[in-house]
Chain A
Amino acid sequence: MIPAQFTYRRVSSVDEALAAVAEHGDDAKLLAGGQSLLPLMKLRFAAPEVVIDIGPLDELRYVRAEGGEIAIGAMSRYHDLHRDPVLAEHAPLLAHVAGEVGDQQVRHRGTIGGSLVHADPAADLPAAVLAVDGVLVARGPDGERRIPAAEFFQGPFETPLAPEELLTEVRIPAQGGAGWGFEKFTRRSIDWAIVGVVVAGSAVSLINMGGTPMRASATEAALADGASAAEAAALAAEGTSPADEAHATAEYRQHLARVLTERALVSAGR
């Protein structure tokens, strides 16, 4: 399978990337790690006329502690995050989750920015960034804007980013040693989650339990009231609307959400 014809264009700075998306708009797609875009193009689910390769933008490949926050460049690869000492110290949850995405080869290419903008409800990092109340920084023709993760994931593969905008950075609070847990149930080890759960301190978010990553609000409220891990986890599926799919019915998924939430809470020390 080869993608449909397109024009390849490589950019070497954020400004050049912004100029390129301004010029091509809807006809173009940004190419970061390509681990979602290229498979879609090979299957002809996507057929952009112009592909703008932002791979060379090393200026967006960093992890920095800034005050009480960690700034992560959008072009940081899973592999970078998994091995980053700053992240290991201040946001071990994210370092761990990055190491659980796909396989070694995918982690060498895939970027945090690509994962967030792709907004697959079955993806891991969107739920993790949602759990830690991350803020996404986008740059466009009118300058920079900050979008809280809770407003960023609007539907399956749907975000408020305009085609002329570039995600440049993700900012998360430094959690220090706050308890965290991550559980993911997959059919094959390299697969996306059938259901996944991220626990970060008192926040709980769910992977693949609806059209977007979502917070398990009933569980969070119960925890705030002093419920045990088992009691709080029993509420994990409340308000979720997972789809019936070949590998998992909605009912099975809701069951999994409860089981995995309890495990994630226990490993987070709740």
Chain B
Amino acid sequence: MKVSIEINGTTVSEEVEDRTLLVHFVREQAGLTATNIGCDTTSCGACTVLLDGESVKSCTVLAAQADGHSVTTLEGLHGEDGDLHPVQRAFREEHGLQCGFCTPGMIMASVSLLDHNPKPTRQEVRAGLEGNLCRCTGYHNIVNAVMNASGQEVQR
């Protein structure tokens, strides 16, 4: 079927199989590879994108379901002038960096979390990011990054 999705402000129209997953559409049809396939079982959050502004796991959405809707990926977060998004900047400042697989999904989930809860507590940040797993390091600096992005105090 023909699917048209507005990705980061640009409409991408492609003929795909009905069973194509959104994550594959974003990576292969749109050529945007910040969105990763980690677990492929809806557990890790590495494939998180914003669909009509809300975080979703794109390995568990069909491209067809996003037809006619808008998607934002990590590549679409920065401002017109190329400035980092406040959440991206905070991740850099707090060294909230994980590996390349986890970080984009963590940032997208954080953007969505702050959108609904601009001043979360540390506990709310942890609960909000429970759908994003890191398999090797820790969450402390990521929690700090979200606190920083929300203009709140971080813990050293």
A3–B20 Cα distance when bound, in Å, is 8
A100 to chain B, nearest CB (A): 10
Smallest Cβ distance from B67 to chain A, in angstroms?
8
* Complex: chain A residue closest to B58, CB-CB: A105
| Among listed B6-14, B70-78, B92-100, B123-131, interface-contacting one | B123-131
- Determine the distance from Cα of A195 to Cα of B81 in the docked complex, in whole angstroms: 51
Contact with A along B55-77 (1 / 0, CB 8 A): 11101111011010000000000
CB of B47 to closest CB in A, whole Å: 9
Q: Which residue of A lies closest to B55 (CB)?
A: A105
| Chain A residue with the shortest CB-CB distance to B45 | A105
Instruction: Give the size range of A's interface with the partner.
Output: 20 to 34
CB distance from B76 to the nearest CB of A (A): 18
Check if A163 is an interface residue, CB within 8 A of chain B: no
> Range of interface residues on chain B?
35 or more
The reply to whether B42 and A35 form a contact with Cβ atoms under 8 Å apart is yes
Chain A positions within 8 Å of B153 at CB level: none
Given A5-B19, A42-B40, A190-B43, check contact A108 B55 (CB 8 Å).
yes
B43, chain A: closest CB distance, angstroms: 7
- Distance, CA A105 to CA B128, complexed state (A): 9
Contacts of B42 in A (CB 8 A): 35, 38-39, 106
Contact B112 A2 (CB under 8 A): no
Known contacts A35-B42, A105-B45, A108-B54, A8 near B62 by CB under 8 Å: yes
Can you name 9 A-B pairs with beta carbons within 8 Å?
A1-B40, A7-B18, A34-B62, A39-B60, A53-B62, A104-B130, A105-B109, A108-B56, A189-B130
